[in-house]
Amino acid sequence: MDRYQEALAASHVLTDESVVAAEVNKIIEKANEYASPETYAFLFSSIDLTTLSSEDNERSVAAFTERVNAFDNEYPQYKNVAAICVYSNFAEVVDTVLDVEGVDIAVVAGGFPSSQTFQAVKVADVALAVAGGANEVDIVMNIGQFLAEDYESLTDEIVELKHTARGAKLKVILETGALRTAENIKRASVLAMYSDADFIKTSTGKIYPGASLEAAWVMCQCIKEYYQKTGRKVGFKAAGGIRTAEEALRYYAVVKEVLGDEWLNRDLFRIGASSLANNLLSTMEGKEIKFF
């Protein structure tokens, strides 16, 4: 048994689909207990506010960033979003325009969303994005290598991209909709953390089905187990199709129930979204708001 198989075999996270579903249903039943103005404000402050459109350009990304700047003045009672997330070639635009504190610059890089390109291209993409001002980098795990069980190539690539990102946080997207099963999601989570990922993230929201509560539960169980073994805290990010305050609250509940309050901060919990920001803000203010 090689070291990759040993790492996978050492995980005892439950992956029986019926058990996972039952555990998630229990959490869903409790989720509304956590609904409060403070929770919704926290969820808002945990958003990676995202624009990933083929129509993006320097002017539109600059305007997008200006809305984040304006939020501090118009809603000083709330913390701003956690990060602005854009394509890697727009990192410098965000870095130039962003003038509020506490908002990170996140990029998707490394052959997003398929991860199908030369490793050298991925390395260059990450390096250029970080040089442009990105302090968070979201990459996609190579699902083809994962399904082929080429774990050495898979993990070596993540390790190299982590090294290339230097001080920037590396979020590894598992693309759980492509992995399909709880067992695959567990294996992908273990391998990503084994490769020094700072966060594991559900989905790109581009090709396959986005986040699911079942995937979130398995990923959070893996994070918990990994922390108990190593003492290193890995963050969790849900992304792909999370649009309403109610949906966001359920992911909050999963993290709270599985990982506890220690993970309920912007360093360890994120939601990747675009329309969710307005929905949460509307919930917080008690009226419909279309700010972003």
Q: Active-site residue numbers? A: 138, 201, 237
- Judge whether 253 and 291 are in contact, CB under 8 Å: no
107 DSSP assignment: E
The SS3 call for residue 144 is: helix
Q: In DSSP terms, which residues pair with 174 in a beta bridge? A: none
| Separation of first and last alpha carbons in the chain | 51
Query: Angle 245-258/17-31 helices, nearest 10 degrees?
Result: 110
Q: CA dihedral defined by 254, 260, 264, 270, rounded to 10 degrees?
A: -40
Measured between alpha carbons, how far is residue 183 from residues 50, 113, 203, 251, 284 in Å?
Answer: 29, 22, 16, 20, 38
DSSP label of 118: -
DSSP of 188-201: HHHHHHHTT-SEEE
